[in-house]
Every structure is written in structure tokens, then in C-alpha cells.
Amino acid sequence: MECFEVTGGTALTGRVRVTGAKNSALKLMAAALLAAGRTTIDEVPDILDVALMSEVLRRLGCDVTYERLPDSGGGGRVVVDVPEEPSAETDYDLVRRMRASISVLGPLVARCGSARVALPGGDAIGSRGLDMHISGLERLGATIESEHGFLVATAPRLTGTSIWLDFPSVGATENLVMAAVLADGVTVVDNAAREPEIVDLCAMLSAMGAQIEGAGTSTIVVEGVPTLKPVTCTTVPDRIVAGTWAIGAVMTRGDVVIERAVADHLTVALAKLADAGAHVEPLPEGLRVAMDGRPRCVDVVTLPYPGFPTDLQPMAVALAAVSTGTALITENVFEGRFMFANELVRLGASVRIDGHHAVVRGRERLSSAPVVATDIRAGAGLVLAGLVSDGVTEVQDVHHVDRGYPDFVEQLRGLGAHVERVRRSD
């Protein structure tokens, strides 16, 4: 078992480079399936989930290589060589370990006319349904059955249609757009997700020859084309990793330049940090966030983009835990996402949960203890909390953090933090 030992008391200062977004890179890799031949994707983070997605693609018959690039903040180049006829089955052992494997469903149905993808089941942040993925693909003409733990989709041909999503689901929007690009006719996806990662995916698909309008708005219009070609593209910078550094700078009262951070992708989060008293300065090379003194409590409400990202909610709770005053944090996207707050309470935080609200009363400092990372972002939030705790905080189950943050320990140390990765035998 690997854990992080975090010694509190040091401000994060210096420069850190952000590579591409996990949540985009995984979908760009899945989108490669839409064209036979070699697709090259740059700024792909060197994280466990990318290794898992590479394995998903290999089992579908692709040849996948990863080459890490020096001084990239943990990024590299992925080359996916896709055969003329990929196989169409993704096993439970991979889907169970990484839910984003489900994003091969749309491309496989579009490209092969059928797909068998294991059902992911629940995870630590909620039940995470697939109803919108399924009903959208059915509207495009696919037949979908659930058999022995697999979703089995069949569609000799997909036909353009109009689809209204009940909620702007990121994964459903992506799967449906990836299916629609090779369908006959025009598909309109309404109440689509607007995340920068959706815009990134649509940019790649357009470069491959797809006809897409409205990416980044609530209405995406796709006119199907018969075939697509492989491309070379670059992953959008990771706004969640950038936001983690920004909140870390404020919590530790530090001063950090986050290279490649895109301030426009973090508008609400940065406004909250400014309200907390931080100095937030967009720079040509990224973003500077500095804090002098103790932050003020700010209320946060998570919402689909452009709202405050649910993936930064654990860090927002950790920030409130050491701010002056009381904050109300509201989670609107994942019902189970406050589970990690009990770990924060072990560090002496005052957090009270009522349904999808958390009331956080700020303390001057937290107090170190062993805690468990329950998911990627909870783990990062606990590490930040450890940085403002007295003594040494042991964050366990850090394989979760490794799924989303390339070189996390090295980057923290580069900013002056005292963090070690240690292996425990029990």
C-alpha cells in the first residue's frame, strides 16, 4: 500500500506546469477509434487512467505507445494505431477500474455497428447512471440490451436525430457526439455539456473531418460524414489540476505561477479565490495565485460548466476548513461526493453534512492524522489539508490520486512542500 506523508507548515511557492486534462485525453484516445490509422495526441498526462485507457484500446486491437516528454509537468505523447476492423468488446476488469472506459461505446457503435462494454457499476462519489448515454444511442437507431453485466449495442447504421439531455452530462454528450459524427444525416444534442473538454473533443473530431457546430454551447449540431481520418492533436490544459494548485496556494498562503493554466476555464473558481482575499493574476504563460494572511470563507455551489467544478469541491471544503468564518458548500452533481469530508473531520475540520450541503466552520490550523483518499479529487483535497495541519498527515490509498495527478509528489516538492511517497507493507 502506498501513501503520502505530508508535513504541514510550508507555503507553496514557485512555478508549476500543467499538462493536458485527464478528462479530455481519455476521450481523445477513445475518439481515435473513429478512424483507421495512426492518431497522435500530445500533452497526455502520465497517469494510471491513461495506462488503463491504452489497455482498453489494445484489447480492441489497437497498437498504443506512450512517450513521456521531459519538463512537461508529467505529460507525453500517445500514438494510437487503429486497425481497419477493431474488435468491439471491453471487459469488466478494465471498466471496473476506470469508468471512463465507457467512452469507447459511442465510437465503437459508430465504427463497427456493434459494441459490448461492461457496465461500470457505482463508485465512491455516487451511482453515476448511464441512462442518457443509452437513450441517446437508442434515438440514433441503436438497440441496446443489458446482458450478463454488459451493455450490448447493435446498430448496423445510425441515423441523425434530435436528442434532449435531462442533465448536461459530460460523458453522455461525448459518447453521443462520437456516435453522431459517422451517422447518416444531422443530429442535434440539446442541453449538451459545455466543458472545455467537450470543445477539445469536438476540435479533434472536426480536424478528423467531422462536421460539428456549437461545441461549447448547449446545442451541438453534428452532420454525419461517411469516414474520418486520423490526426495529430494536443490536449487542452487540465483546469482541475490548475485549480488544485490555485487553491493550494491560497490555503498555504503561498505564491504560485501555474504555467499553461487557462484563467477563462476557471472563471467561477478564481472569482471565489479572489473573494477569499487572494491575488489572482492571469499571465501570458498562465496564472499567478498568491495569498497573504488567512483566507476568508466563501460559499460554493457546484454546477455543470461554467459553474464551479464538482471536481474542485473537495479542495473548496478543505479551503473553507482553514478560512475565517463559516462557508456553505453545495454539491449538485454527484450525490456521494461529501463522503471524504469525514476524513477531513479526522484532521480536526469542522464540517457538518446535511444532504447535498456542507457547513464548514473555519479553524486556524488542522491537526495531522492518518486519512484515506476515497477518490482522485478527495485525495488531492486531503493532501492540501495535510499541508496546513500540524505534524505529519498520512494520506492512504493514494493510487486514487495517481489516477489524475501526474508527478503529484514531485510537483508539490518543487513548490517547497514536504511530501514523501512511502510504501507500507500492511
Binding residues for ligand UD1, rule: CB under 6 A, are 23, 26, 100, 126-133, 167, 169-172, 310-311, 333-334
β-strands 232-234, 37-45: how paired? parallel
Residues in contact with 384: Cβ distance below 8 Å, sequence separation at least 6, in sequence order: 244, 247, 248, 251, 252, 315, 318, 319
**Identity of the residue, 197 or 394, whose beta carbon is nearer to ligand UD1 in the bound complex:** 197
Q: Least distance in Å: CB of 219 to ligand UD1?
A: 17
- 88 with 55: CB under 8 angstroms? no
- 28 with 232: CB under 8 angstroms? no
- 31 with 205: CB under 8 angstroms? yes
Place of cell 491537526: 367
Q: Least distance in Å: CB of 21 to ligand UD1?
A: 9
Helix axes 376-387, 239-251, angle to 10 degrees: 20
**Identity of the residue, 386 or 404, whose beta carbon is nearer to ligand UD1 in the bound complex:** 404
Neighbours of 206 (CB within 10 A): 16
3-state secondary structure of 161: coil
Q: Least distance in Å: CB of 195 to ligand UD1?
A: 6
**Identity of the residue, 176 or 366, whose beta carbon is nearer to ligand UD1 in the bound complex:** 176
**Identity of the residue, 331 or 394, whose beta carbon is nearer to ligand UD1 in the bound complex:** 331
- 279 with 288: CB under 8 angstroms? yes
Q: What whole-number distance in Å separates Cα of residue 152 and Cα of residue 188?
A: 24
Residues with catalytic annotation? 123
Q: Least distance in Å: CB of 134 to ligand UD1?
A: 7
**Identity of the residue, 62 or 170, whose beta carbon is nearer to ligand UD1 in the bound complex:** 170
Q: How far apart are the first and last CA of the chain?
A: 7
**Residue nearest ligand UD1, Cβ-based:** 171
Q: Least distance in Å: CB of 164 to ligand UD1?
A: 13
Helix axes 170-180, 22-31, angle to 10 degrees: 20
Region of residue 145 (left: phi > 0; alpha: psi -120 to 50; beta: else): beta
**Identity of the residue, 200 or 407, whose beta carbon is nearer to ligand UD1 in the bound complex:** 200
Helices (H), 158-278: 170-180, 196-207, 239-251, 267-275
Q: Least distance in Å: CB of 133 to ligand UD1?
A: 5
- 249 with 289: CB under 8 angstroms? yes
